[in-house]
Structure formats: C-alpha cells, structure tokens
Amino acid sequence: MSVLFVCTGNICRSPIGERVLRELARRAGVPVSSTSAGVGALNGQPIHPHASAVLTENGYDASGFESRYLRPPMLTEADVVLCMSREHRAAAQQMAPARWKRVFTLTEFAALCDIGPLPDIIAGRGRLDPNSELLDIVDPMGRPREDFDRVFAEVEPKVETVVSWLAGSAPADSAGERTSGEHR
C-alpha cells in the first residue's frame, strides 16, 4: 500500500503526516510507503523548523526531508491520497481525474476507516459532507509554534486510525483466515 499526503508547500502539514505514518506503520509492522507533496511546493526545500521540532519532540524522525511539487504521476502511483484540506483534495482530483475516488482529506478518510476495505470506503464517502470545513487541517505556515503543535495534535490520531485500518487490510482467504502479504 502506498499513501501520499498532500498540502500546499509540503514543508509543514504533509511532512508531518508522512513521517507519522511511516513510523507508526513501522512500529505496527505494516508494510506501507508513505510520501508527501505540495500543490504549491518548491522542490528540495527542508521541512519547516517548527514541524521538524514537533516531530522530533514526539518521537518521529524529521531528518532528510525534501519538499516535492505535486505531479500527476505521484497521484496515479499512490493507492490512497490524503490531503490536508478540501482545496488540496480538489487540486489533486483535478490533476488526476481518473484517480478522484482515491483522493480524500485526511480527516475524511480517518472518519471512514471503520467502513472496511478501500472499495467500501470509496462507496461510503457520501456519509460525510464533502464541503464541511471540519475536513480541513488549517495551515500553520507563518503562525506561532503553537499552531504546529495543533496540527500535530490533529494529524497524529487520524494517522493512527489509518495505520490501524492498514493493519487490518489483509483480506480473508476462502477459509476466513487472513492471508499474509495480501493488502487491500
């Protein structure tokens, strides 16, 4: 499974999502590729110092990060795209229209994880108001450090939900047993 996080500059919110997912999945033994990009990113920029500090202080690795500008191949290669706002979701869906069903806000996807396998989540997305501002994680850029703490506090539990969903993603075989190595 591959998950792509998307925000604006790819130096604050989406790197936090990427690094939290990477580490929580590693701890849970869940094989997943976690990357990120931004709809307005400059390639090769370091993670924002406040985002780096928040990750490090909470036990996550922020080292070696470089921002990437979101391109259509990134969207077509990802199994799931988790955006930090409705605006990012719309931009990603417009960039790769054939993949629109696999593009969610992080908040939206985390709220739908209880539905079950990915096809059921896609089919059940109508359970939520796609225009609700509650789906957005507000950009901390240019704001005080406390706003980065707020973003982390919003992102981490939602990513924990995604990792739990990923951990339960091996489909049952015909005997009803989980089959190792198979994923949604």
pLDDT tens digits for range 17-45: 999 999 999 999 999 999 999 999 999 99
Of all residues in the chain, the percent with pLDDT exceeding 90 is 91
pLDDT band (50, 70, 90) for residue 176:
very low
How far is 38 from 148, CA to CA, in rounded Å?
A: 17
Query: Is the Cβ–Cβ distance between 107 and 114 less than 8 Å?
Result: no
Query: Is the Cβ–Cβ distance between 21 and 156 less than 8 Å?
Result: no
pLDDT band (50, 70, 90) for residue 177:
very low
Question: pLDDT digit string (tens) for 76-107?
Answer: 999 999 999 999 999 999 999 999 999 999 99
Q: What is the model's pTM?
A: 0.91
How far is 110 from 93, CA to CA, in rounded Å?
A: 19
Mean pLDDT of 110-126: 95
The token duo for 131 is 């225009």
